Structure 1
Amino acid sequence: MDFNRKCFVQTQVFCQLRFVVQYRQYLHQTSTQLFNKTASLMFARSQAKLLTKVAKIASISQPINRIITVEWTDGMKGKFPLIWLRDCSPDPVTYSIGPAMTARNLTMNEFDVEQSPKSVRLENEQLVIDWKDTQSRFDSDWLRLRNPSDEEMANRRRSVYLFPDSTWGKAEIERKLKKFDHNAVMNDDKTLHDFLEAVCLDGIALIKNGPTNTRAAVPDIGERIGLIQSTHFGKVFEVTTKADASNKAYASSGLLPFHTDFPSLAHPPELQMLHMVRKAEEGGNNFFVDGFQVAEQIRKERPDVFDILTKYSLEFIEEGYDVHEGPNGNPKRFDYNMSARHRTIKLDEHGKVIKIQFGNAMRSWFYDCDPEKIQDIYRALKTFTDYCYKDENVLKLPLENGDTVLWANTRLLHTRDAYRNAPDGNRTLTGCYFAWDVVKSKVRYLRRKLNLPSAQPSA
């Protein structure tokens, strides 16, 4: 090929490539504009479902000390910081809103926290703010739902975390323990929501009329809820009497003490589910106690003990091996050596009880404190245990074949009494664990999907 012909061909190829690149850029720009318009519309529609139409905005103030005051026609007022209004602006420059994602586009390293608006006005019943890089338009509903001056708003928003606002003793839980039908939980979203919400608020709920003599119930329910949390006992485990047991629960049919599972882990599973495959011929009843209730009783009646239980960490160790299904489906031996430290009662920054963790079988010899405090720690643990065994605190829950119970492992302590196996087979349960994040995510998702009154905005 001569030089001129070669140059001509290269020029043609280059022009074609440039056209393809420019066309792709055009498509990208067009689709981005369309996405932003769609996202903005989806954002507005999603918020409209969450709140009945409220009063109109009567007036707005110009910024004073970087605060805009909004007053509604029903007399309600709200103070909105400028920086918050810019950060939370419901526009596609600030947020990416789509079916699979809601995320803030702004980055803190580029965010001007001292910026001031170009203009602030009330226009078409909206608070309109012009910024240097975008325009914010806030509907009355949007502002009212997020009014920082409204204590009801704050309480409503706190409920998104699904943290219990009450505890229970024997009389209360026997009266209000929620029970659900297995088929309804598996096939009806509202029933699944109500079941999981009950676990969030009461720490426990029961499923009745499930399949019997099968180990499939736990993985089936687990898949319905979300991601099962694996441990060193596998994803789905079996609880039955074993000759070479790796855990006290498998070691004998004798009485077990009240405990939470896996205090030997730095991040123990927060919920446990058990399904009764085959109950014992006699005994084997399950018992539960609300550790939050016990903690509040001790706080009120024995503040000295409460101080110790919330101040000093205990070490828990668990060493051994277990044989369960490996990655290829075949039995595999898993060796482990777990060690972690936890306070028996864990508080949040406001002094609210948020976790209970204790298992005497795994409690270590090591106390990382002044030796003179060790006697007081033992006394406190004895008092804590005595409160757990008070009849007024204990729920007895016999499980029938096909029953499934889900409870909060970092709130409730559990045990079982001694049992006698039937001549033709051992008492057998299957179980698994979950994280609160998975369960609460499912509740929030179902609230939005079913448009329940308790649904909350995600942005």
Structure 2
Amino acid sequence: NLASDYPSRRHTVIDFDSQFDVSDDLQYQLTMNTAKIASSLLAKAFKKPCASQFQNLDPRKISSVHLRKISTAGFQCKSLPASNLASDYPSIQSVIPQAHQSCKVVFDNEKSADFKYIWLRDNCGCNECVHRDTKQKLVDSPSLDVNICPKTSTITPDGKLVITWPGAEVDHVAEYSSQWLYKYGQCFMHETYDSLHKDLETHHLRPNMVLWDRETIWKTFPELAYEEFISGPEGVRRWLELIYTYGIAVMRRVPPVKDTVIDVVKRFAYVKETQYGVTFDVISEPDPEAHLAFSGKYLDHHTDMNYREKSPGLQMLHCLKANKPTDKHDPGGKSFFVDGFSIAKWLEENEPSAFHILTATPVRFQIKNQGKRYSHLWPIICLDRSDDIIEIHYNNRTMAPIQIPTHVVTPFYHAYQLFTKKVRDASNELVFNMVPGDLVAFNNRRILHGRTAFDPTKVSRHLQGCYSDIDEVFSKLDSLNLKSQ
């Protein structure tokens, strides 16, 4: 912490007119320190030992095609400590000019962050630079002077950093709160580099995700009554919070009437139309041209539409008709669900080489439907730029032949089978009979789902489903959580 090299006192006004250089020795030292940090992070990434059939496999030598890390909003398994309360953030202790058009902001918790002046000027949050209502930027970033330096800097009695920026005609005065500087300064602190790509504006509005197995999910079963859901914004907020936390939620006592599922979705998002229509009906109709879901056959664990450019984020299934099970007879057609994030996390911790293969190897998913062919590439486990698990793409029925180097084929199948074995383990499954009035909503890019077999000549079963974009769903959750604070 370079802040320890400076006196611990509050700077009232700093004059930036004087320029100074960093000596060659200091520059060399800073460069070497950066290299050491990078080397340390790289070493930690490969510290875990490999196990089982992967014990002789070095993940660094896997030469399958590496995809650009896929980053989508709203999905993360690790959570940063967060709060939106000003009292929970440290105050600014001092602001120290640095070389290369930057300054060091030192906080009273002994942490500090280096801010480039161009970054501070570009991110001024005043009404001249950011639209008050839409929060869209009004400042033209490409027109700013990359080498801009402030004229003066002041720390106000209430802890704000006020900077006067030079302008072509009129100087610009910008204010930066200590909360804002500390929040965004985390990405400039070496020890929190893993937060570089977090959505710092919304992550504190969402609960922590809970990864689950069968025992965990039954202890805190995520369900809500339809009456509570339609009672007002708090009911909607609670419903969306369950979906975000567990990836799945069940609504009880929903009127078993067609298109009610659309009315439910419209309370927090919009329906995403697909090649199957605005809604789709899962009714047993034995037909060689029909989708396998319309038969009574067993449907293995899968996520939907991995063959699309972006598979639907939220899936909802509303039970309109079903044979109720009795103590003596199980009619079949049970629904089952598995937390794909939990399985992927287990793989990362116990079989790191297998985890690496499934995150780095592209798999083509494809289908022919209604005279059209759909095809797209996804790794089975998708990570964001912080290496958090954000998506699962898994459907053995729609996987095309794997196109990878020969020496990667066997390791891939070992990894794929390990993942599948955990998915099919009964200790990881949530299994139940959907009855008329049940409505299940789940994150289609996290939760794998399926169905046990049944005899369509003896069982009457009708589910109506639809999809919605998950970012729309969680945006509604953010807004409701913000209003409730």
- 1:206 aligns with 250
**Residue 55 and residue 186 in structure 1: after superposition, are their counterparts in 2 closer, same or farther (change >3 A)?**
closer
- 2:327 aligns with none
Is residue 255 of structure 1 aligned with residue 291 of structure 2?
no
Check the 8 A contact 1:298/1:306 in 2, yes or no. Answer: yes
| Count of matched residue pairs | 383
Q: Distance in 1 between matches of 2:102 and 2:298?
A: 63
**Residue 57 and residue 276 in structure 1: after superposition, are their counterparts in 2 closer, same or farther (change >3 A)?**
closer
Q: 1:136 aligns with which of 162, 174, 182?
A: 174
Q: Distance in 2 between matches of 1:196 and 1:374?
A: 40
**Residue 190 and residue 128 in structure 1: after superposition, are their counterparts in 2 closer, same or farther (change >3 A)?**
same
Deviation digits for residues 243-271 of structure 1 (CA, Å, limit 9, x no counterpart):
43531101x21211111111221311122
- 1:239 aligns with 282
Deviation digits for residues 93-135 of structure 1 (CA, Å, limit 9, x no counterpart):
211112xx11111222212222111111234534321112311
Q: Which has the larger radius of gyration?
A: 1
- 1:14 aligns with none
In percent, how many aligned pairs have the same letter?
A: 26
What amino acid maps onto 1:112 in structure 2?
D
Q: Distance in 2 between matches of 1:54 and 1:224?
A: 34
Check the 8 A contact 1:236/1:432 in 2, yes or no. Answer: yes
Question: Which residues of 2 match residues 75-94 of structure 1 at below 5 A?
Answer: 78-79=112-113, 81=115, 82-94=117-129
Q: Distance in 1 between matches of 2:220 and 2:185?
A: 35
Deviation digits for residues 187-220 of structure 1 (CA, Å, limit 9, x no counterpart):
32122112212211211111111112x1122100
Is residue 193 of structure 1 aligned with residue 237 of structure 2?
yes
- 1:25 aligns with none
Which has more helix, going by share of residues?
Answer: 1
Check the 8 A contact 2:321/2:460 in 1, yes or no. Answer: yes
Question: Which residues of 2 match residues 442-457 of structure 1 at below 5 A?
Answer: 442-450=476-484, 452=485
Which has more strand, going by share of residues?
Answer: 1
Q: 1:179 aligns with which of 212, 218, 223?
A: 223
Is residue 284 of structure 1 aligned with residue 333 of structure 2?
yes
What amino acid maps onto 1:354 in structure 2?
I
Deviation digits for residues 343-381 of structure 1 (CA, Å, limit 9, x no counterpart):
2222233433222111121122x3222345434433433
Any idea what SS the aligned residue of 2:230 has? helix
**Residue 401 and residue 115 in structure 1: after superposition, are their counterparts in 2 closer, same or farther (change >3 A)?**
same
- 1:358 aligns with 394
Q: Distance in 2 between matches of 1:403 and 1:440?
A: 22
Q: Distance in 2 between matches of 1:53 and 1:300?
A: 36
**Residue 173 and residue 314 in structure 1: after superposition, are their counterparts in 2 closer, same or farther (change >3 A)?**
same
Question: Which residues of 2 match residues 339-350 of structure 1 at below 5 A?
Answer: 339-350=375-386
What amino acid maps onto 2:416 in structure 1?
L
TM-score, normalising length from structure 2?
Answer: 0.71
Stretch of structure 1 that moved more, 50-59 or 126-135: 50-59
Stretch of structure 1 that moved more, 349-358 or 435-444: 349-358
**Residue 127 and residue 403 in structure 1: after superposition, are their counterparts in 2 closer, same or farther (change >3 A)?**
same
Any idea what SS the aligned residue of 1:90 has? coil
Check the 8 A contact 1:255/1:418 in 2, yes or no. Answer: yes
Check the 8 A contact 2:92/2:178 in 1, yes or no. Answer: no
- 2:425 aligns with 390
Deviation digits for residues 414-437 of structure 1 (CA, Å, limit 9, x no counterpart):
1111224586x8300111112221
Query: What is the CA-CA distance between 1:286 and the residue it aligns to?
Result: 0.7
Is residue 310 of structure 1 aligned with residue 359 of structure 2?
yes
Unaligned runs of 5+ in 1: 1-48, 322-334, 453-459
Any idea what SS the aligned residue of 2:143 has? coil
Q: Distance in 1 between matches of 2:350 and 2:94?
A: 51
Check the 8 A contact 2:207/2:241 in 1, yes or no. Answer: no
Query: What is the CA-CA distance between 1:75 and the residue it aligns to?
Result: 5.6
TM-score, normalising length from structure 1?
Answer: 0.75
Query: What is the CA-CA distance between 1:407 and the residue it aligns to?
Result: 0.8
The Cα RMSD (Å) is 3.1
